[in-house]
Structure 1
Amino acid sequence: MKKKVTMQDIADRLNISKNSVSQALRGKDGVSEETRELVMRVAKEMGYQYPDSRKQTSQKRTGNIGLIASDRAFSFKNFFGEIYLSIEKEVLKRGMHLHIQSIHQEQKNRLILPAFIENKTVDGVLILSHISTDYINKVISTGIPTVLVDHHHPNIHADAVLTNNRFGAYVAVQHLIELNHRDIAFVGDIDYSPSYEERYEGYLLALRDYGMEPNPAFLFTDAEEKEETILGYIRQLKQQPTAWFCVNDGLGFLVNSGLRQQGILVPEQASICSYDNGQLSKISTPKTTTVDIDLELYGKRAVEQLFWRMEHPHEPFQEMLLSSKLIKRESTAPAPKQIVNKSS
C-alpha cells in the first residue's frame, strides 16, 4: 500500500520547517513567493493530498473567544491586567469578540464551566494562570481549542505560552552572586504555581553553578504574601542574609518594608531582587531590581497560538517560552558583612 505523503515529507525533501510548508500550502504570510511556488510544485510531484480547509473548519464560527481565570489571578491587576488588555487588543484586531469570566472557588470545586464554554458559543478559550488541573481538563474536554497563559502541568494536554522562569531567576541570582553575595534568601510559595517552583529551580541552579549551597534557614518556600508573615521570617533569623530573591514584586516590597522595620538598610546592608517588573517594584524605596516580562507580548503570542490551534486542531501541542530580562535598580549593591538581628 502506497504511503500517504505528509507535510513533514515535503519539509524533509526541501530541508525547511513543517510550519513553512503549511503556510505555503494554505497561502498564509510568512514565506516568500519563491518558497511558496517551490512547495506547491514539490507537493504536486510527491502526490500530496492537501485536505480541504473548508472541511477542517466546517463547523460555523461564532466569532467569539473566551478568557477565564481565577478570582485571585484577576486580582493581580498589574500583571494579568496588562496581559488581558493585550489579549483584548489582539482579539479585536482579528474581528472577534472577547468574553471574560472569573472562576470563583465554588465553580472551581464543583467544576462548573462558564455558559459560553458549556454551550460552545466561543471558538477558542484562553486560560490565565492556574485554576486547577481538573477544572482546566474539563474545559479541554469540551473540544474547544484551548491555550494556557502562564501555566502548564504534565497532566494538562494543551498549548501553553510561558515565560522562561528558570532562566529569569537564574540571571537574577547570578546578579546577586556577582555582587559577592553568598547568603541569599529565597521567598515564595512554590506550591502556588509552577512559575514560582520554576523560579526556585532557577535560584538553586545559579547557586549550584557557582559552587554554593543554599542555607536552609534562608529558604522560605511557603511564603504567604502578607506583611506579618514576611516580618516574622525576618525577625526569627539570628543572622540575616545579605540578599533576598523574591518570586514576585509584592514579596520584594514586603521584604523591603520588613527589613526597614528591623533597622536594616537596603541596599547598604541587604540587597533585594524580585520578579515581574510590576508597579510595586517601581514605587518601592529604593526601587527594586527585578526581572521584566513583556506582558504585551505575552498576550499577543497567546492569541496567535490560539488562532493557529483553531486552524490546526490535530497538530502536536506546543509550549512557547518567552525570554525575560533583568532590570537593575537601586535595591541591589555589593555585599556587606553579615548582619546580626537587633532583636536576637
Structure 2
Amino acid sequence: MKKIVTMSDIAKTLGVSTVTVSKALADKEGVSDEIRAKIKQVANEMGYRYNVAAKSLKDGLTYNVGIIIAERFIEVGVSFYWQLYKRLADELMKINYYAVFEILKPSEEQTATEPKMVIDKKVDGIIVLGQVGKEYFNMIKAASVPAVFIDFYENDSTQDFIITDNFYSMYMLTNYLIEMGHRDIGFVGNIRATSSIQDRYLGYLKSLIENDIDLDRCKQWYISDRDDESGHVDFELKANLPTAFVCNCDNVAYELIRKLSEKGYRVPDDISVVGFDNYSVTANESVRLTTAEVDMKAMAHTAIDVLMKRINNVKAKRGIKQVSCKIIIRDSVKRLK
C-alpha cells in the first residue's frame, strides 16, 4: 500500500517545521514567497493531497473558484479565452482548488446580475476573463467574495487586474514591420471595444510617431473588426491597401489573410500581416503568422496567486500586474527593398 504523505513528511524533507508547511500550503502569512513556492513544489512532487472535504468544514471555504467569460468572447473552435481558462483550471488543480465555469450572457451583463455561484456561496473567489461593462464590473467588485480581472483594466486602484504587455509588444511588432521596409501600415481592431485593443493601438501609434511616419496617411487603413461591445463583425477591405497590417489578435489576422486571398492578394508577397496572442487557430493555415506570444501560464499563475492572497487575507498591493510577451518572427512579413 502506498504511504500517505503528511505535512510532517514534507517538513522533514525540507528541514522546516510542520507549522511552516501548514501555513505555506494554506497561503497564510508568516512564510516568504520563496519558501511557500518551494514547499508547494515539494508537496506536489511527493504526492501530497488535501482532504478537501475536511478542510472545507474546518476552514469554511469551498475550495472552488468561479471563472466568468462573456458569451461574446466564446468563439466557435479555438478561442484565446478557452485556452486561458484551461491554464487557470490546471493551475487551480495544483493547489487543490476546482474551477467553476460560467458564461456571462449579454442580458446578465447589461442588468449587472450577480452570479448564482456567488449568491449560493459556491465559490471562494472570482476570476473574470475579458472586458465587461462598467455596471457589471462594479457589481463584481462589490460582491461578497474577492475578484481578479484578467485581460482588461479600469481606472480603479482598489482592484486586481492581470494584463499582458499590450502596448510595448505591439510597439515592437510595428517596429519590426518598419525595420523590414514598411511605412504604409494599417491597423485592424476596434479601439473602443476593449482596453487591450486600445493599448495595442497606442503601441502601434508610438512606433509610427517615433519613425516619422504620417499618421493621417495611415489612418485611411484603419479597419474596425467588431462593434463597441466586442461582437465580431464581417469587416470589409478598402480599395486602396497598405503594404502591411497589424491586427489586434491572431483570429482577426487570419480572417484578414482569408479576405486578402479572396481579393487575389498573397501574404506576405503582396501584403504583410502580424497578429497578437500566438495560439493555434487552425492547423490548416497556409501562412505562419508573425505575432506576440502571450504567456498564458504566467497570467494564470499570477491571477491565482493574487486571488489566493485575497481569499486568505494576506496583505498585498492591489492594482495592475503586467505579464511580458515574446515576439515570434515567422514568415507573414516580407522585406521591402
The reply to whether TM is greater than 0.5 is yes
Counterpart mapping for 1:165-204 below 5 A: 165-204=166-205
- Give the Å deviation of 1:280: 2.9
Q: How far apart are the structure 2 equivalents of 1:188 and 1:99?
A: 31
CA distance in 1, matches of 2:280, 2:98: 29
Matches within 5 A, 1:107-126: 107-126=108-127
SS of equivalent residue, structure 2 residue 276 = strand
Query: Retained in 2: the 8 A contact 1:227–1:258?
Result: no
- Cα distance in 1 for partners of 2:35, 2:226 equals 49
Q: Is the Cα–Cα contact under 8 Å of residues 272 and 331 in structure 1 kept in the other structure? A: yes
- Post-superposition offset of 1:311: 2.8
Instruction: Say if 2:273 and 2:332, in contact at 8 Å, map to a contact too.
Output: yes
Q: State, as a whole percentage, how many aligned pairs show the same letter.
A: 24
1:193-220 deviation per Cα after TM superposition (whole angstroms, max 9, x unaligned): 1000000000001111112122221122
**Residue 280 of structure 1 aligns to a residue in which SS?**
coil
Q: What is the CA RMSD across the aligned residues, in angstroms?
A: 2.5
The answer to whether the aligner puts 1:332 opposite 2:333 as a matched pair is: yes
The equivalent residue for 1:260 is 261
Q: Answer whether contact 1:247 1:275 (CA < 8 A) is retained.
A: yes
Q: Is the 8 A contact 1:269 1:335 kept in 2?
A: no
1:73 and 1:221 mapped to 2: Cα distance? 17
Read off the aligned partner of 2:107 and give its amino acid letter: E
How do residues 48-127 of structure 1 correspond to structure 2 at under 5 angstroms?
A: 60-75=60-75, 77-127=78-128
Q: Which residue of 1 aligns with 2:46?
A: none
The separation in 1 between residues aligned to 2:271 and 2:143, in whole angstroms, is 51
Report which of the two structures shows the higher radius of gyration computed on alpha carbons.
Answer: 1
Counterpart residue type for residue 250 of structure 1 = N
Matched, 1:216 2:219: yes
Paired with 1:226 and 1:60, the residues of 2 have a C-alpha distance of 42
Measured in 1, the distance between the counterparts of 2:314 and 2:121 equals 16
Over 3 Å counting, the alpha-carbon distance change for 1:295 and 1:24 in structure 2 is closer
Which string of whole-angstrom CA distances, capped at 9 and with x for unpartnered residues, describes residues 124-144 of structure 1?
111111121211211111231
Shift of 1:329: 1.2
Quote the Cα distance in structure 2 between the aligned partners of 1:203 and 1:79: 21
Task: State whether residues 124 and 145 of structure 2, in contact with CA within 8 Å, keep that contact through their aligned partners in structure 1.
Answer: yes
Instruction: Map 1:299-338 to 2 at 5 A.
Output: 299-312=300-313, 315-335=316-336
For 1:219 and 1:209, locate their aligned partners in 2 and report how far apart those are by CA, in whole Å.
Answer: 19
2:31 corresponds in structure 1 to: 27
Task: Please identify which structure carries the higher helix content.
Answer: 1
- Per the TM alignment, residue 286 of structure 1 is displaced from its structure 2 partner at its CA by 1.9
Distance change (3 Å), C-alpha of 1:136 and 1:292? same
Aligned counterparts of 2:66 and 2:232: Cα–Cα separation in 1: 32
2:125–2:307 Cα contact (<8 Å) kept? yes
Report the counterpart of residue 12 of structure 1 in structure 2. none
> For residues 225 and 263 of structure 2, what CA distance do their matches in structure 1 show?
22
Q: Partners of 1:131 and 1:194 in 2: how far apart?
A: 10
Return the TM-score normalized by structure 2. 0.77
- Residues 165, 92 of structure 1: CA spacing in aligned structure 2 closer, same or farther, 3 A cutoff? same
Specify the SS of the correspondent of 1:117.
helix
Q: Paired residue for 1:249?
A: 250
The number of aligned residues is: 284
Q: Name the CA shift for 1:71/1:176 in 2 (closer, same or farther; >3 Å).
A: same
User: What amino acid is aligned across from residue 83 of structure 2 in structure 1?
Assistant: E
User: 1:227 and 1:87, CA in 2 relative to 1: closer, same or farther beyond 3 A?
Assistant: closer
Structure 2 unmatched ranges of 5 or more: 1-26, 37-57
Question: Where does residue 237 of structure 2 map in the other structure?
Answer: 233
